[in-house]
Structure formats: C-alpha cells, structure tokens
Amino acid sequence: QSALTQPRSVSGSPGQSVTISCTGTSSDVGGYHYVSWYQQHPGKVPKLMIYDVSKRPSGVPDRFSGSKSGNTASLTISGLQAEDEADYYCCSYVGTYTFVVFGGGTKLTVL
Amino acid sequence: QVQLQESGPGLVKPSETLSLTCTVSGGSISRGYWSWIRQSPGKGLECIGYIHYSGSTNYNPSLKSRVIMSVDTSKNQFSLKLSSVTAADTAVYYCATEELTGTYWYFDLWGRGTLVTVSS
C-alpha cells in the first residue's frame, strides 16, 4: 500500500488560511469516510486533529476543518497562528488487512 | 486519565529481535485496540499493527513476517517483537490507542515514544 500524497511544505502568514491536500485512491481516501489528520510539533507526539474526514476531537480549535472530494482529502487551517507551525499527516483507513496508511507529511510554516 | 509508556532497549544489533513493551496506566487495557506506530528519523509515520485486548492481531503486510504482538491484561501491558532487524528499522516507536470511537484506525492517545537504533 503506497503512502498518501501530501505536499512537502505549505506556508502562510498569521491570520491567513492554508489548505493541505492528501491524495489517495479509491481504495483508501476515496473508498472510506475514515480520514484523519495529525499535527506534530518538532520532538513531540502526534496529535489527532480531525477524524471521520471532518470531525474535531474535543479541544481542537474550530479553525481546523477537514473535507474530502473523491480521492483527495483536505485540511484547512483558518486564522493561522504561530503555534500552528508543525508537520501535518493525513491518514486513511484502507480495509481490514492493511487497515491504515499515512501521508508523507506536510511542513506548515507560519511566515 | 489513561497514559501509555513505552519501554525497552534503545539499541539493537542487526539481525536480532527488537522487543518493546507499552504499559497502560490510569485505565484498563481490557477494552479496544492497542497499536504500535513508528517514525523513522526525519520521516513519516508507519503503522506496524494492532492488538485487541482479546489477543487478536492485525499486522502491516510489509512487516507481517517479522512482527509478533501480545497482550498481558494482568499487567496492563502489550508488547511488540520485531525480528531480523536492519538499519531500516531504526525509528521512534510509539504505542497508541483510540478512545473516541473504539476503532483501530484512529490514534488519539499516544505514548511519548522510544528511539530504537539498530547498529552493531
């Protein structure tokens, strides 16, 4: 199972919005409603930010939103803040045997 | 609240077996799924597999021939063994679980991670 495709880096200024894409296939992103997004600051543990494509766990700011169209999922961060600078990974369920596949990660820089 | 803590050797020789244990505190392991995820230096995340508290397992097909996971409910621990390791297995190994939906494809609770280096 190949990793999901994410841009290596994105950037934005404080207050702006950025969108990170995550492209897979009909066997993963396009086939299930089980896409999640993780935020990882340097040297820290990944944190679940979005699950079920667009749901936010308790405590995650509503500036973070998720969506999906076809085989591509997206994470949008609005009202960028300096603390949002981190690596972001998408993840998709891919069925019983392989179960999950991650994207390669996107480094978000807040200018 | 529930916390996870990995333990095990930080250095393993090539061709030997990597063994890690994850201790669950603040709650019972006798619910849901418990996973191992690794992250090679400067690289992305890779799910190694998961074990249900009942003992049923599911492993990443790319690692399946080398992985064994087990659970010890009396000790509130689950373990990972990865055999015939090479330098490519050098990574930070995380244990993780999911409390939101009770599934094995999300990870909302992670251990702090432990770096395992494969080197002679």
Q: Which of A36, A45, A101 to mutate against chain B (most B CBs within 10 Å)?
A: A45
Flag if A99 and B104 touch (Cβ within 8 Å): yes
CA distance A49 to chain B (A): 9
Q: Which of A9, A35, A47, A51 to mutate against chain B (most B CBs within 10 Å)?
A: A51
Tell whether the model's pLDDT for residue A1 goes beyond 80.
no
Give the pLDDT band of residue A31 (cuts 50, 70, 90): very high
Q: For B31-43, what is each residue's pLDDT tens digit?
A: 889 999 999 987 8
Q: Which residues of A touch B (CB under 8 A)?
A: 1, 3, 34, 36, 38, 45-46, 48, 51-52, 57, 89, 91, 93, 96-105
Tell whether the model's pLDDT for residue B78 goes beyond 90.
yes
Where does residue B95 rank: exposed (0-12), middle (13-18), buried (19+ CB within 10 A)? buried
